[in-house]
Amino acid sequence: MAVSSTVSLWDKTAEEADISSPMTADVTTDIAIVGGGYTGLSTALHAAGQGLDCCVLEARQIGFGGSGRNVGLLNAGLWLAPQDVRKRLGEQRGGQLVELLGDGPSYVMSLIEKHQIRCELTRTGTIHAAHSPSGFKDLQRRAEEWNRLGAPVRLLDRNEAAAKIGSDAFYGGLLDERAGTINPMGYVRGLARAAKAAGARIHTGVSVTKLTPKPGGGWLLATDSGTVSAKSVILATNAYSDDLWPGLKSSFVPISFFQIATAPLGARVADILPERQGIWDTGTIMFSLRRDMADRLIVGSMGSVIGGDKGLSERWAARLLKRMFPKLGPVEFEQAWHGQIAMNAEHMPRIHRLAEGLYTPIGYNGRGIAPGTIFGKAMAELLAGGDEANLPMAVTGVRPEPMQRLKTGFYQTVFAANQLIRSL
C-alpha cells in the first residue's frame, strides 16, 4: 500500500474525466467562485443556468479538497438529529432546513440523472450503526423523529443490522432509504462538466492571492495567472480556506479523516454489505465502511494516515476488519489518503457575508455532498436577484472558533492514540 500521490482512490477510479483548463488572460465576470468542489461547482452550474456569467478558480485540480477525498456517503440531513436542528434554529427556520436537507440526496440524484454523471450511484441507503447500547438509544430517538416527519428511515435490530452489514459487531442500526453512495470524485467532476456545458468558465491551477473591493462595487481578484473582475464573489473553500480572507481559517476546527482501501476482494466480500450500503457508527471517534463497485472495502476514521506500507494506519485497518469480519482473512491494502473536515462548536453549516457581494458557505461538519450542492444552488439563486432571507441559514459575520488551535492539537493527538490503541 502507498499513501496516495493522487488525491484519493476515487481520483483513479472515477469514470468522469478531469477538467484541466489554465487561465491565460484577465477575466471579467458576474460571479467569481474560488474553489472547485461541490459548493463552488453547484453554484456555477445553477448560476450559469440562470444566465449569469461565472468563473470558477481552483488552485489545484477539480475535487482536490474534501470533495475528492470524501467517503462518498450521500446522506440526508445534518450531523445533528432533526429535533436538535429545530432546537438550535427555531421551529420555522430549523424545520425548513431539516426538510430541505432531508430531500438533499433526492436532489443530488436528480442532478446525476439529468446530467448523466458517471459516479457509481447506489440507491440502497446508508446505515448509521450503533457501536453500543447508548448508541442504539440515540438512533431510536432519531428514528422516532424522522418517522414522525414521514421519512423512509427504519430502525434495524441487532439481527437485521448484522444481515445488512455482514457483521454482528453492532447493536443495531438506522437505515435511511433516502440515502446512497457515490464515487465522490466522479460526482464533483460531473458537476464541473455540467457547469462548463451550461456556460461557466472553469480554470484550474489558479491561486487567488488577494481580494480587493472595486470603487463603485464589485471585486478585483489578483491571481498568479492574471486578474479577475467580478460583481460578486463566492469563497467555496470550506476546510481548505487559507489566509485569503482575514479570520476565515480560524472560524472552524480542521479535522482530518483518513481512509484505506483494500485491493479488490471479489467473492470474498459477497456477504459484506451485500446491498452496498455505506455505514458509519455512533462512536465518538467514528469510523466508516463501504464496498465499492470493484469489491474493495474502504474503511476510514478521524485522523491522518500514519505510516506507509505496514504502518500504523494499515495495522489499524487490518485489525478493525479482522474484528468485524473474522472469516474474511488477511487482506492487501491498495491505497490510503486523508482529507479535511470543517467542524464547529454547533455542528451546523454557516453562511457568512464577508463584505458586500462576498459570501462563503462553510462548516459542513462532515456532511458535504448534499449540503454543499444545496447551498451552492442557494448562493446562485441569491446572486441571481434573490433575498438573503431565503437562504438555508441566516447570514452571519465571521467569528473565531473558541480555542481553535488547542482543539486542533488535542484532536490530532487523540485520533493518533486511537489508531495506536485499536491496532494492538
Tell me, what's the pLDDT at 378? 98
Separation CA 220–CA 358 (nearest Å): 11
Tell me, what's the pLDDT at 3? 46
The full length of the chain comes to: 424
Residue 391: how many other CB atoms lie within 10 Å: 18
Tell me, what's the pLDDT at 357? 98
Separation CA 202–CA 221 (nearest Å): 15
Question: Domain spans of the chain?
Answer: 2-125+178-405, 132-177
Tell me, what's the pLDDT at 48? 98
Tell me, what's the pLDDT at 6? 82
Tell me, what's the pLDDT at 88? 96
Separation CA 125–CA 422 (nearest Å): 28
Mean pLDDT, each 10-residue run in order, the chain (424 residues): 73 96 97 98 98 98 98 97 96 97 98 98 98 98 98 98 98 98 98 98 98 97 98 98 97 98 98 98 97 98 94 97 97 97 96 98 96 98 97 96 95 97 93
Highest CATH level, class, for 2-125+178-405:
alpha beta
Cell 466480500 belongs to which residue? 269
C-alpha cell at 177: 432509504
Separation CA 246–CA 250 (nearest Å): 9
Tell me, what's the pLDDT at 5? 65
